Amino acid sequence: MTASPFKSYLATLALLMAAGALLAGAFVAVVDPYGLYGFVLRDGFNAVKPGLTRYQNQIKQELALRRRPQFIILGNSRAEIGFDPRASALSALGAGYNLAIPGTGLATSASQFAQLRQAGVQPRTVIVGMEFIDFLNPAAAPAARPVAATTAPAPARAFWRFDTLFSLASVKDAVHTLRIQHDAQAATLTADGFNPLLEYGAHVRRDGYHKMFAQRAQESAANLRRKSTRGLATEDFHALRAFLLAMAATQADIKLVIYPYHAQMLAMFEAAGLWPLFDEWKAGLILAMGAVKAQYPDARISLTDFSGYGVYNCERIPAANERDSATRWYWEAGHFKKALGDIVLQRLMSPTTGAPGDGQFGMPLDGASLAQNRARIAQERGACAAAQPALFATQLLATQDSHSGGRR
């Protein structure tokens, strides 16, 4: 008895679909857009990897586990874009990996460290970018949510590994990988997790830095409008202490970094009424460190403040008609360039090393130095305001506009 033509058709179709899936998977595995397989790594073919647009945490975590880094960098997009693990200041530490993920906070950093520890990877040095905005409460209490509407758990390893091999999105990323090998303006990610932000080069050549800063200022004003000026989130300090305790238990050298916000961003903190909380936040970080050191007296934890209005932070923003003018230290107020990140890392590793004329950029903070640090920033502000008075007036108006919905 012969099979019906319909059954033969279904069998052929199933074989063709299976063959297509296997071919697609083989194509993705060979091109390797996420760096997960390593079958082929060839200049001009797939050596340049595209920036991650999905499974960022999972892929970075997987690559970090394979590298078994001696030091790691944690934080948000400021850290991912600003801190290069291959910076000369970090060369003596051995292999490193930048685990920073845009738009994430302490919970992600703590989870990343815990996963490394569970896998037997204990970095000797941990550099953590501290984000002031993450510790702010929302201006309005969030609406009550049903119990069922909780955050979805991270996808299981088997699922995301399958999806990064057998999916149309992965095929598209593989094709994109082939296209960007000779594109100096493509979004990429290095093998050690650093984002050089090459795509911004095309934006500034087209629009100029003034527009980049203006757009970021509008976004920041809208974000700050949603924050309360009445107090910090105490639960975030509890999470910080737990995270510090976990790191201290491994005897890691913990280096907390207050980002080098551009003066434009700090002026917006002032205009939004957040400056007292900024001071309070720094004191809270010091208290959290002290609580951990009380439990682990030999713990190596440092906090360095790179915020302020110094010569780097107060970099001049090109005017709207200066389309060809470039900045040296900042892409816009939200993100500093690798050039400044390298200086930050140098100060972290050699706190006493300074460049002539840059003041006290990178001031170690503890209970005894808080007042001195406050005086430093006030002095820097005076010099910055004298050099760029419009910067402070403009940010005040921008923040007021954001609070009034653009009506004056």
User: What pLDDT does residue 401 have?
Assistant: 53
Identify which has the larger pLDDT, 399 or 25: 25
* CB neighbour list of residue 114: distance below 8 Å, 6 or more residues apart: 246
Strands (E), 289-347: 300-305, 330-332, 335-336
Percent of the chain predicted with pLDDT > 90: 78
DSSP string for residues in 279-291 = HHHHHHHHHHHHH
CA distances from 385 to 319, 332, 389, 391 (A): 17, 18, 5, 8
Instruction: Check pLDDT > 60 for residue 181.
Output: yes
Q: Supply the mean pLDDT for the chain.
A: 90
Amino acid at 276: P
CA distances from 130 to 256, 333, 390 (A): 7, 16, 29
DSSP annotation of 368 = T
CA distances from 182 to 45, 186, 199 (A): 9, 9, 13
- For 76-134, give the secondary structure using H, E and C: CHHHHHHCCCCCHHHHHHCCEEECCCCCCCHHHHHHHHHHHHHCCCCCCEEEEEECHHH
What confidence tens digit (pLDDT) does each residue in 378-408 have? 999 999 999 988 888 765 545 555 444 433 3
Buried b or exposed e, range 179-194, using 16+ CB within 10 angstroms: ebeeeeebbbbbebbb
Q: At 312, is the pLDDT very low, low, confident or very high (cuts 50, 70, 90)?
A: very high
Q: At 202, is the pLDDT very low, low, confident or very high (cuts 50, 70, 90)?
A: confident
Instruction: Check pLDDT > 60 for residue 24.
Output: yes
Instruction: Give the C-alpha separation, 68 to 83, whole Å.
Output: 18
Amino acid at 366: D
Instruction: Check pLDDT > 80 for residue 250.
Output: yes
Least confident residue range of 13-27, 237-251, 393-407: 393-407
What confidence tens digit (pLDDT) does each residue in 316-361 have? 999 999 988 999 999 999 899 999 999 999 999 987 766 667 778 9
Q: For 84-101, what is the mean pLDDT? A: 97
What confidence tens digit (pLDDT) does each residue in 98-154 have? 999 999 999 999 999 999 999 999 999 999 999 999 999 998 765 554 444 444 567
Instruction: Check pLDDT > 90 for residue 363.
Output: yes
What confidence tens digit (pLDDT) does each residue in 265-308 have? 999 999 999 999 999 999 999 999 999 999 999 999 999 999 99
User: What pLDDT does residue 251 have?
Assistant: 95
User: What pLDDT does residue 179 have?
Assistant: 96
Q: For 173-200, what is the mean pLDDT? A: 95
Per DSSP bridges, beta strands 335-336 and 125-130 are unpaired
φ, ψ of residue 149 in degrees (nearest 5): -90, 45
Strands (E), 201-276: 227-232, 253-258
CA distances from 166 to 170, 172, 348, 398 (A): 7, 11, 43, 47
